[in-house]
Structure 1
């Protein structure tokens, strides 16, 4: 089975459409449908209509339940500035969808134990970045039993082996922060245990036009999208 992993869509419908065109058998979303981008309602609607299994991101929790997002200092002001916009444009049904998202999804496919969550197995506010020390990984994964761990949150894609576990971060579909503006995702083949990070061009001009016409802090949001951080 070819699983398409998407994460951190952040209201960018054009980027979401682009990655969903990649051939796949199943899609799983690792959270953060909301904030920063101009089309959260369209993104949530698509996820709901297609029945895409999704875990709870920190921004989803902040929008749906009004709790602190736990963002880093560099981007927190943008999260706060765009949250009122997000709440204005999504429906109550979509808000309830965000509230009901699970912390994790666990599956066994082709003999592989797969664990999907947003930040880390301990917290959807906790970052697992590409350069994270093995001692910290060991603490974060000590309570789970999995062959493959899928996480998002950092907006930095990576594939890393830790002991007998493969850790995969598809990066951000809607707001990459690794210096590459293209939408990021991963395709994981359960039959071969092979993972591929894929970057997709998308219609950024349309996304930026929506931001400029509708959102606060539009110039800063557009700059981040265009430079990829």
Structure 2
């Protein structure tokens, strides 16, 4: 079985549609989003409608948390807060209901899916976690594999015998060893921050016990124009270049 794991679409419909076309040609049985489907980009409602149409499972990202629990709104800086207000105003009642039903974590096929960091935080960033905390997190969960997003970067961390080691994970296929646990950061569909402006996602092949990085080109100019036409900060558009 092959599972596509996506993250941080952030209202970028062009990137999301291109990723879905790539997924449809890759023998995928299921798609899971680890959150932040909305925000930053100009088409959060269209992205959420497509997630609903495709039956994609999703956990809460920190942007969805701000919709569901307004007390978390202050977590964002003033510029993002202003944009989120506009984003939230454009969400349909169906999308709001979908967000209110999203769980903070999913456990499927023996693996855990969470936005930020296990066990279920949508706010903690991987780069905040030292080796000891990464190892401790796996002592607190039963699953050997945990898929995350939030940082908009790709990471593969092998946890074994009280140590956590970052492994190369920029392209191609990585085999997951049976005697180790893994934290897999799947990158960002809609707003990569790893120096490569293509959309990113990961294919998890359960039978082969492997994860594969996929990089997908999309119409960046159109996504940028839509952000600027929506009156969102130019910095949000510049991040896509």
Correspondence 1:221 to 2:236: yes
Name the residue aligned to 1:124: 122
Name the residue aligned to 2:141: 144
In structure 1, stretches of 5+ residues that fail to align are none
Name the residue aligned to 1:59: 63
TM-score, with structure 2 as normaliser = 0.85
Sort the Cα spacing of 1:67 and 1:33 in 2 relative to 1 into closer, same or farther, 3 A.
farther
Q: Which of 199, 208, 226 in structure 1 is aligned with 2:224?
A: 208
| Cα distance in 2 for residues equivalent to 1:161 and 1:125 | 22
| Cα distance in 1 for residues equivalent to 2:94 and 2:65 | 15
- Give a deviation string over 1:28-68, Cα, whole Å, max 9, x none: 00001111000000000000111101001110111233232
| Cα distance in 2 for residues equivalent to 1:78 and 1:174 | 19
Task: Judge conservation of contact 1:65–1:99 (CA < 8 Å) in 2.
Answer: no
| Cα distance in 1 for residues equivalent to 2:71 and 2:97 | 14
| Cα distance in 1 for residues equivalent to 2:191 and 2:240 | 6
Name the residue aligned to 2:47: 43
Correspondence 1:196 to 2:196: no
Sort the Cα spacing of 1:57 and 1:41 in 2 relative to 1 into closer, same or farther, 3 A.
same
- Give a deviation string over 1:108-151, Cα, whole Å, max 9, x none: 3xxxx21111111241111124x953212023333211121111
TM-score, with structure 1 as normaliser = 0.89
Task: Judge conservation of contact 1:70–1:125 (CA < 8 Å) in 2.
Answer: no
| Cα distance in 2 for residues equivalent to 1:84 and 1:30 | 22
Matching of residues 19-168 of structure 1 within 5 Å: 19-22=19-22, 23=26, 24-69=28-73, 76-108=77-109, 113-122=110-119, 123-129=121-127, 132-163=129-160, 164-168=180-184
- Give a deviation string over 1:125-184, Cα, whole Å, max 9, x none: 11124x953212023333211121111111111122111212111111111111211111
Sort the Cα spacing of 1:194 and 1:78 in 2 relative to 1 into closer, same or farther, 3 A.
farther
| Cα distance in 1 for residues equivalent to 2:228 and 2:102 | 30
In structure 2, stretches of 5+ residues that fail to align are 161-179
Q: Deviation at 1:15?
A: 0.6
Task: Judge conservation of contact 1:36–1:78 (CA < 8 Å) in 2.
Answer: no
Cα root mean square deviation, aligned:
1.7
| Cα distance in 2 for residues equivalent to 1:57 and 1:70 | 15
